[in-house]
């Protein structure tokens, strides 16, 4: 086996979902999960071909023993029922990332539910109010290793009136740290150097668990590309060559369609971007999708088959119907600061840890804590803030560190404000805050319960960057 360095890492790509169903390889199936017919998701060990066919299979943990897990598909406004059965050797949960569901179903261990012990199960039942691209994964303290081993999957919620497309294509990017034997490098789990820097970066990056994906299309097809990053820490830059797609949704929430243009698509951990693109060309042509953050290389291709070309649509896609998400009318009067501190080159002198002030060296060496939010390392006993149901709140995210942080808000979506306090287009549930920068977001706190806010560079979360807020009825 030849081990690839991160700057030359490989990808896999493309799980094709047609307008009438899913075209999937291996055991990747669509489940219509309903209360009357719940989907049983087993979190258990398995093995999969992450590398080339000439290389060994890799032992993983996965839902149904696969990586990624089953693609779950539901209708907007419908109910989803999933029974998690834990066949692992450690406790786990499932968090439904980006879905605005009842707090008890959010899957955060010790905040919304107790973790599911080995051999035990938990029933998740919830309504999906928003159409869009979402995903699911464990959410226990230090859940990074569970995701690193393969525990993640996608949840697609279809619009009542779907857009005018010919194919619905899912591209789930994930990176893995693989050793010379072709296995996950478990010895590096909990590495404090990784935690204090950019997080756990893999040396092999896949899409939908394949070495390379060819997405077949007819000349003239209009494709919906659902781009999902389930990386632990890596920020991807994706190039689409001559494809020239429109961006139509961010983190599952529609935006006014606009061209991506010549710049790469930058997508941080946990984020999703929906694109619509017309594949104009002759049979036998192809469009490459490449990772371009380092030396560019192809991650996937859209290949045009020999079918008779159909006329290319000469008009932009229509806007997706908006989801019923409340947004602030203007910049909220109430603003809460969240200051990120610590990490390499900005070492913590001290922070509060479990109610006591602890010096930075002791935090790192004895407790594995190298980051702090508002001077607190790890999950605090007191909430960051409490809001009345329906109250607009602004959060000023101050990154006083030398690394980017993908900050994820549970149970809500938010707007991002520019320097003039004007809301930018689109809603997000995860935003990447650049080093030594400030990003202000605004939300309507309308989903009752206790909700997490944390860095989705998961080693950063495990080593200090997590907090919570409460919405009162």
Q: pLDDT means per 10 residues in the chain (473 residues)?
A: 34 28 41 75 96 94 97 96 98 98 98 98 97 98 94 97 95 95 96 97 89 89 97 96 96 97 96 96 90 88 85 93 96 98 96 97 97 98 97 98 98 97 96 98 98 98 98 95
Structure tokens belonging to residue 439: 């990003």
Pairing of the two strands 246-250 and 167-176: unpaired
Strands (E) in 113-161, as ranges, are 121-127, 132-137, 153-158
Considering the domain boundaries, does residue 287 fall inside one? yes
Residues 468 and 346 in one domain: yes
Closest CA to 433 of 408, 452, 458: 408
Residues 347 and 450 in one domain: yes
CATH number of the structural domain spanning residue 351: 2.60.40.420
Considering the domain boundaries, does residue 16 fall inside one? no
d(CA 15, CA 9): 20
d(CA 272, CA 280): 25
Considering the domain boundaries, does residue 181 fall inside one? yes
Structure tokens belonging to residue 368: 């594995």
pLDDT at 32: 58
Residues 224 and 290 in one domain: yes
First to last CA, the chain: 57
Residues 236 and 344 in one domain: no
Closest CA to 414 of 382, 387, 379: 387
Considering the domain boundaries, does residue 377 fall inside one? yes
Residues 283 and 404 in one domain: no
Residues 154 and 176 in one domain: no
d(CA 131, CA 158): 5
pLDDT at 405: 98
d(CA 264, CA 277): 15
Residues 56 and 121 in one domain: yes
pLDDT at 21: 33
d(CA 237, CA 9): 13
Total Cβ atoms within 10 A of residue 255: 20
pLDDT at 207: 85
pLDDT at 337: 98
d(CA 452, CA 449): 10
d(CA 108, CA 450): 10
Q: Tell me the three state secondary structure of residue 312.
A: coil
The structural domain count of the chain equals: 3
Stated pTM of the model: 0.93
Residues 367 and 447 in one domain: yes
Considering the domain boundaries, does residue 225 fall inside one? yes
Residues 137 and 175 in one domain: no
Exposure string over 420-458, b if 16+ CB within 10 A, otherwise e = eeebeebbbbbbbbeeeeebbbbbbbbbbbbbbbbbbbb
d(CA 146, CA 419): 38
Residues 28 and 119 in one domain: yes
Which of 136, 159, 182 is the last residue in one of the domains?
159
pLDDT at 15: 26
Considering the domain boundaries, does residue 313 fall inside one? no
Residues 141 and 64 in one domain: yes
Respond yes or no on whether the N-terminal peptide bond of residue 68 is cis (omega within 30° of 0). yes
Which of 159, 190, 216 is the last residue in one of the domains?
159
pLDDT at 23: 36
Considering the domain boundaries, does residue 311 fall inside one? no
**Pair 68, 152: CB distance under 8 Å:** yes
Domain boundaries, position 152: 21-159
Rounded to an integer, what is the distance from CA 293 to the centroid of its chain? 19
Closest CA to 181 of 372, 50, 375: 50
d(CA 170, CA 131): 15
pLDDT at 31: 62
Structure tokens belonging to residue 110: 């010790």
Which of 141, 159, 177 is the last residue in one of the domains?
159
pLDDT at 250: 98
Considering the domain boundaries, does residue 455 fall inside one? yes
Residues 418 and 449 in one domain: yes
């Amino acid at each position: 086996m030849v081990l690839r360095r991160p700057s030359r890492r490989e990808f896999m790509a493309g799980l094709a979902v047609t307008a009438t169903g899913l075209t999937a390889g291996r055991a990747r199936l669509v489940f219509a999960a309903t209360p009357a017919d719940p989907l049983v998701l087993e979190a258990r060990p398995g093995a999969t071909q992450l590398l080339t066919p000439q290389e060994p299979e890799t032992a993983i943990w996965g839902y149904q023993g696969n990586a990624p897990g089953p693609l779950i598909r539901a209708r907007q406004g419908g109910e989803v029922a999933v029974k998690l059965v834990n066949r692992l050797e450690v406790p786990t949960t499932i968090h439904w990332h980006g879905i605005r569901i009842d707090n008890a179903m959010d899957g955060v261990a010790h905040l919304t539910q107790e973790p599911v012990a080995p051999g035990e199960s938990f029933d998740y039942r919830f309504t999906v109010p928003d159409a869009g691209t979402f995903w699911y994964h464990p959410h226990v303290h230090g859940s990074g290793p569970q995701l690193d081993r393969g525990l993640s999957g996608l949840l697609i919620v279809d619009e009542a009136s779907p857009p005018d497309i010919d194919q619905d294509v899912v591209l789930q990017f994930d990176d893995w740290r693989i050793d010379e034997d072709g296995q996950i490098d478990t010895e590096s789990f909990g590495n404090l150097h990784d935690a204090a820097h950019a997080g756990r970066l893999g040396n092999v990056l896949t899409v939908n668990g394949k070495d390379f994906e060819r997405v077949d299309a007819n000349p003239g097809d209009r494709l919906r590309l659902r781009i999902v990053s389930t990386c632990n820490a890596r920020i991807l830059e994706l190039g689409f060559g001559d494809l020239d797609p429109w961006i139509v949704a961010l983190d599952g929430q529609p935006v006014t369609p606009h061209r991506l243009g010549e710049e790469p698509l930058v997508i941080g951990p946990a984020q999703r971007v929906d694109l619509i693109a017309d594949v104009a060309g002759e049979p036998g042509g192809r469009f490459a999708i490449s990772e371009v953050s380092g030396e560019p290389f192809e991650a996937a291709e859209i290949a045009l088959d020999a079918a008779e070309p159909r006329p290319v649509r000469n008009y932009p896609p229509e806007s997706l119907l908006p989801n019923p998400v409340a947004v602030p009318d203007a910049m909220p009067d109430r603003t809460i600061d969240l200051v990120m501190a610590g990490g390499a080159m900005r070492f913590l002198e001290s922070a509060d840890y479990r109610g006591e002030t602890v010096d930075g060296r002791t935090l790192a060496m004895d407790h594995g804590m190298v980051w702090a939010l508002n001077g607190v390392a790890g999950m605090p006993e007191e909430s960051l803030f409490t809001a009345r149901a329906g109250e607009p709140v602004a959060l000023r995210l101050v990154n006083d560190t030398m690394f980017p942080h993908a900050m994820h808000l549970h149970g809500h979506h938010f707007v991002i404000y520019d320097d003039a306090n004007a809301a930018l287009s689109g809603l997000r549930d995860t935003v990447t805050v650049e080093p030594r920068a400030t990003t202000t977001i605004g939300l309507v706190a309308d989903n009752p319960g206790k909700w997490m806010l944390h860095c989705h560079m998961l080693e950063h979360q495990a080593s200090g960057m997590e907090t919570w807020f409460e919405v009162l009825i």
